[in-house]
Amino acid sequence: MWWLESRRLTRVLLALALAGLTAGCFQPMYGDKSAAGGPAIGDKLSSVEVAPIDAPNGTRLSRVGVELRNGLIFGLTGGGPAAAANYKLDVRLTSSQTQVIVDIATARPDIQDYGIDATYTLKDITTGKTVVTGQTFSRVSYDIPGQQQRFAGDRGLRDAENRAAKVIADNIRSRLASYFVAGT
């Protein structure tokens, strides 16, 4: 029986030794220092200038564009001051609403989906070359409590717009971070 215990101990020690050997190979994506000694990912992200998002004035999409831009700026700079701009990010938005569940007695929607489709382009300011292009989307649902509570339904839509904008901002930030780490 002692040989079973020694085999288990050997396996555990071998696994720990392999983990120790590979521990130096990994670097946290959002760490303070890069492995090559260059600027950290946070410094590169904060050098991205987010252009105002073009949407017709006075529309719901215009408010969502401002929400998205603010989320991107905060996500890229971490709430701190922005570095000198080396890159410019342009974002184009389209939105959609779909009725998911309709009350058969009143023919009014009970649950709707709000969606945002975003197309973004990151350009290097010094060369004018496009370095990243991509698309992302977000779909969120919200309840409409009924005809008697129309303001609650409007607030549900606004919350859905804010949640969708946050998802889009997080997706774009993650894609830019992977570009700055991997270069592709």
Q: What is the CATH number of the domain that holds 125?
A: 3.30.160.150
Write out pLDDT tens, residues 59-103: 999 999 999 999 999 999 988 888 888 999 999 999 998 888 777
| Banded model confidence at residue 28, pLDDT cuts 50, 70, 90 | low
- Kindly state whether residue 98 falls inside one of the protein's structural domains: yes
Which one-letter amino acid corresponds to residue 117?
Answer: D
Spatial CA neighbour of 120 closest among 158, 171, 82, 60: 171
- Kindly state whether residue 69 falls inside one of the protein's structural domains: yes
176 has pLDDT over 80: yes
Pairwise pLDDT comparison (157 vs 16), residue with the higher score: 157
Write out pLDDT tens, residues 43-62: 889 999 999 999 989 999 99
Determine the longest span between alpha carbons in the chain, in angstroms. 78
Enter the pTM of the model: 0.79
| Banded model confidence at residue 6, pLDDT cuts 50, 70, 90 | confident
Number of domains present in the structure of the chain: 1
- Kindly state whether residue 8 falls inside one of the protein's structural domains: no
* Distance, first Cα to last Cα, the chain: 54
CA angle 61, 65, 67 (to 5 degrees): 115
Q: What is the CA radius of gyration of the chain?
A: 24
- Kindly state whether residue 177 falls inside one of the protein's structural domains: yes
4 has pLDDT over 70: no
Which residue reads 């080396």 in tokens? 86
| CA atoms lying within 13 Å on the CB side of residue 34 | 13
Residues 140/113, Cβ–Cβ less than 8 Å: yes
- For residue 61, the model assigns a pLDDT of 94
Distance CA 8, CA 2 (A): 10
- Kindly state whether residue 85 falls inside one of the protein's structural domains: yes
DSSP letter (8 states) at residue 40:
-
